[in-house]
């Protein structure tokens, strides 16, 4: 099968694939930035004392985790015009990606903060540290360090999830591949080229994750 | 207006129910087949044969590194070119089982590696064959470790099954897509679709969380 791959067509469509690649990159970056912001807010809400705010953060996380991204995407795509909000498809896609990943980011950061043992805080207090010093020197460094690897993992998921935006006619990598498939009736070339581009992103992010965890190996039992 | 539309959507309950049935059927089939693939891949991945382990790693990476939507297209559009004609349902089951197998394989491999080497050495010293060591000593311990992750994986599988609607399979998401063409209220229609997924997925998420909190799988 691969022997009969028409590389000439793949090269001819390279600019289109490249455009799709850049588009996927930008959609994912925007989506991830939104997810980080939403995740931090949702996490902060879920560990503060007001009960109804805590419950609303939990409701958000659970509603997102228990439903598929595609249904969330259609919810916004078919639902927003109903509320009189007319947005370009790409923006709807970014909002859906941010809302979706934000819930997972919230869970990741939350588990990082909850993993700090009470003794650390008590030791910092008895060493005479102020609240800000404790936060800056003891709690946040320990809480955030173990979240980096899972966050990169979530970024990988988000890049792959962004392919669903092709279903609401946003032109990105998957859509670019489909165009080759349809234009030339050559599904193999289009899909293989697209798959290779995604794999490139996947290995890049994996490399970053690996380098990070290698550099920051925690002492003691992992 | 809202009640009228709600009435109309509810009038489509046979379509919604059919979609829900398709989603459940797809997910359960893919879970069963995917578990078999996953355990096979996991055992090979954690096994002593390095070449085989690397090859499995590469295969798994391909499917973990590309979007599931693309994989569905590959199964549905490329396999026919090499003479394998699949119906949309079969293509969906194949793609979903395969990706589930890849993710479960990595979980199982990690579970096997988490079993202390002394367990295997003790089994070997007691005269167990390699297959017996795996079946009687290593796997039972590994399964206990990985069960919460496997439940979490099943939730992902149910959600991923929505993607096969892209090749025209009438699952829960697709049924919503069809209804929204007639009842133009996306919030209502996909709110109901989301509720359908929530009812299936939330108990599983709850179960997986509870197991993780206990630090081990409950005796089922």
DSSP class of B12: T
The pLDDT, as a whole number, for residue A219 is 55
pLDDT of B7-39, one tens digit each?
888 888 999 999 999 999 999 999 999 999 999
Q: What is the residue-wise DSSP string for B113-157?
A: HHS-HHHHHHHHHTT--HHHIIIIIIHHHHHHHHHHHHHHHHHHH
pLDDT at A116 over 90: no
The pLDDT, as a whole number, for residue B219 is 39
A:96-125 residues touching chain B, CB 8 A cutoff: none
pLDDT of A34-86, one tens digit each?
999 999 999 989 888 889 999 999 999 999 999 999 999 999 999 998 888 89
Nearest CA in chain A to B177: A74
In contact, B73 and A178? CB cutoff 8 Å: yes
C-alpha B100/C-alpha B64 separation (Å) is: 10
C-alpha B216/C-alpha B208 separation (Å) is: 10
Helix (H) or strand (E) holding A68: none
pLDDT at B218 over 50: no
* CB contact A63 to B (< 8 Å): yes
B:168-187 residues touching chain A, CB 8 A cutoff: 172-173, 176-177, 180, 184-187
Residue numbers in A near B173 (CB within 8 A): 68, 70-71, 74
| Best to test chain A binding among B99, B165, B190 (most A CBs inside 10 Å) | B190
Contact B70 A161 (CB under 8 A): no
The pLDDT, as a whole number, for residue A115 is 83
The pLDDT, as a whole number, for residue A192 is 87
pLDDT-based confidence at B211, cuts 50/70/90? confident
The pLDDT, as a whole number, for residue A135 is 79
Residue numbers in A near B190 (CB within 8 A): 71-72, 74-75, 78-79
Token pair, residue A35, equals 């997810």
Q: Residue A12: how many CB atoms within 10 A of its CB?
A: 13
For residues A96-118, give the mean pLDDT: 92
| Best to test chain A binding among B2, B151, B194 (most A CBs inside 10 Å) | B194
Q: Using alpha carbons, select from B140, B62, B53 the residue that is nearest to residue B95.
A: B62
C-alpha B17/C-alpha B9 separation (Å) is: 12
Find all residues with CB under 8 Å of A213, minimum gap 6, and list them: A148, A149
Residue spans of alpha helices (H) in B46-138? 50-65, 68-73, 88-114, 117-125, 130-132
* CB contact B74 to A (< 8 Å): yes
Of B162, B166, B186, the CB nearest to A82: B186
C-alpha A148/C-alpha B3 separation (Å) is: 47
In contact, B64 and A202? CB cutoff 8 Å: yes
Residue spans of alpha helices (H) in B161-185? 172-182
Estimate the crossing angle of helix B13-45 against helix B50-65, to 10 degrees: 150
Mean pLDDT over all residues of chain A? 88
| Burial environment of residue A66 by CB neighbours within 10 A (0 to 12, 13 to 18, 19 or more) | buried
In contact, B153 and B103? CB cutoff 8 Å: yes
| Burial environment of residue A86 by CB neighbours within 10 A (0 to 12, 13 to 18, 19 or more) | exposed
Q: Residue B13: how many CB atoms within 10 A of its CB?
A: 11
pLDDT at A2 over 80: no
pLDDT of B90-120, one tens digit each?
999 999 999 999 999 999 999 999 899 899 8
pLDDT at B215 over 80: no
* CB contact B13 to A (< 8 Å): no
* CB contact B86 to A (< 8 Å): no
Residue numbers in B near A156 (CB within 8 A): 65
* CB contact B73 to A (< 8 Å): yes
More reliable by pLDDT, A132 or B157: B157
In contact, B112 and B140? CB cutoff 8 Å: no
Q: What domains are there in chain B, each with its CATH number?
A: 2-214 (1.10.3720.10)
Contact A177 B70 (CB under 8 A): yes
For residues A7-25, give the mean pLDDT: 86
C-alpha B86/C-alpha B94 separation (Å) is: 9
pLDDT at B172 over 90: yes
Q: B55 to each of A84, B32, B49, B50, how far by Cα in Å?
A: 52, 24, 10, 9
pLDDT at B148 over 70: yes
C-alpha A101/C-alpha A31 separation (Å) is: 8
pLDDT of B39-84, one tens digit each?
999 999 998 889 999 999 999 999 999 999 999 999 988 888 788 8
C-alpha A67/C-alpha B159 separation (Å) is: 6
Q: Using alpha carbons, select from A53, A75, A64 the residue that is nearest to residue A99.
A: A64
Contact A63 B180 (CB under 8 A): no
* CB contact B62 to A (< 8 Å): yes
Taking the CA atoms of residue A7, residue A11, residue A16 and residue A18 in that order, the dihedral angle to the nearest 10 degrees is 110
pLDDT at B1 over 90: no
pLDDT at A218 over 80: no
Q: What ipTM is given for this predicted complex?
A: 0.89
Token pair, residue A5, equals 């791959």
Helix (H) or strand (E) holding A16: helix A14-46
Nearest CA in chain A to B23: A68
Residue numbers in B near A187 (CB within 8 A): 73, 77-78, 81
pLDDT at A222 over 50: no
Residue numbers in B near A160 (CB within 8 A): 65-68
In contact, B97 and B164? CB cutoff 8 Å: no
For residues A121-131, give the mean pLDDT: 89
Nearest CA in chain B to A62: B202
Contact A191 B162 (CB under 8 A): no
The pLDDT, as a whole number, for residue B12 is 87
pLDDT at A221 over 60: no
Q: What domains are there in chain A, each with its CATH number?
A: 2-213 (1.10.3720.10)
């Amino acid at each position: 099968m691969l022997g009969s791959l028409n590389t000439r067509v793949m090269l001819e469509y390279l600019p289109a694939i490249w455009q799709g690649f850049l588009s996927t990159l930008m959609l994912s970056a925007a989506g991830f930035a939104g997810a980080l912001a939403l995740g931090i807010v949702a996490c902060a809400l879920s560990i503060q004392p007001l009960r109804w705010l805590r419950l609303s953060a939990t409701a958000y996380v659970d509603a997102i985790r228990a439903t598929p991204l595609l249904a969330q995407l259609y919810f916004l795509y078919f639902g927003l015009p109903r509320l009189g909000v007319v947005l370009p498809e790409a923006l709807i896609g970014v909002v859906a990606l941010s809302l979706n990943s934000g819930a997972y980011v919230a869970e990741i950061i939350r588990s990082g903060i909850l993993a700090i043992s009470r003794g650390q805080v008590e030791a910092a207090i008895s060493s005479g540290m102020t609240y800000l010093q404790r936060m800056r020197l003891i709690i946040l460094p320990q809480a955030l360090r173990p979240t980096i690897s899972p966050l990169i993992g979530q970024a990988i998921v988000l890049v792959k999830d962004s392919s669903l935006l092709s279903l609401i006619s946003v032109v990105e990598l998957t859509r670019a591949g489909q165009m080759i498939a349809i234009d030339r009736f050559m599904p193999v070339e289009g899909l293989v080229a697209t798959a290779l581009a995604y794999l490139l992103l996947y290995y890049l992010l994996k490399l970053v994750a690996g380098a990070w965890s290698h550099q920051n190996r925690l002492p003691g039992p992992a | 207006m809202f009640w009228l539309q709600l009435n109309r959507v509810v009038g489509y309950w046979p379509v919604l129910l059919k979609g829900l049935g398709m989603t459940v059927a797809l997910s359960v089939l893919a879970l069963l087949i995917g578990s078999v693939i996953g355990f096979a891949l996991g055992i090979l991945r954690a096994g002593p044969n390095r070449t085989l382990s690397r090859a499995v790693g590469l295969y798994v990476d391909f499917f973990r590194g590309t979007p599931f939507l693309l994989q569905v297209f590959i199964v549905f559009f490329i396999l026919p070119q090499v003479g394998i004609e699949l119906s949309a349902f079969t293509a969906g089951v194949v793609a979903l089982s395969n990706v589930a197998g890849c993710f479960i394989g990595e979980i199982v491999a990690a579970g096997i590696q988490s079993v202390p080497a002394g367990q295997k050495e003790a089994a070997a010293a007691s005269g167990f064959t390699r297959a017996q060591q795996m079946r009687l000593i290593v796997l039972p311990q590994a399964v206990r470790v990985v069960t919460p992750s496997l439940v979490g994986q099943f939730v992902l599988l149910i959600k991923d099954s929505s993607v096969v609607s892209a090749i025209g399979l009438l699952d829960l998401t697709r049924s919503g897509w069809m209804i929204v063409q007639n009842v133009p209220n996306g919030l209502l229609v996909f709110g109901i679709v989301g509720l359908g997924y929530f009812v299936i997925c939330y108990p599983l998420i709850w179960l997986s969380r509870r197991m993780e909190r206990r630090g081990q799988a409950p005796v089922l």
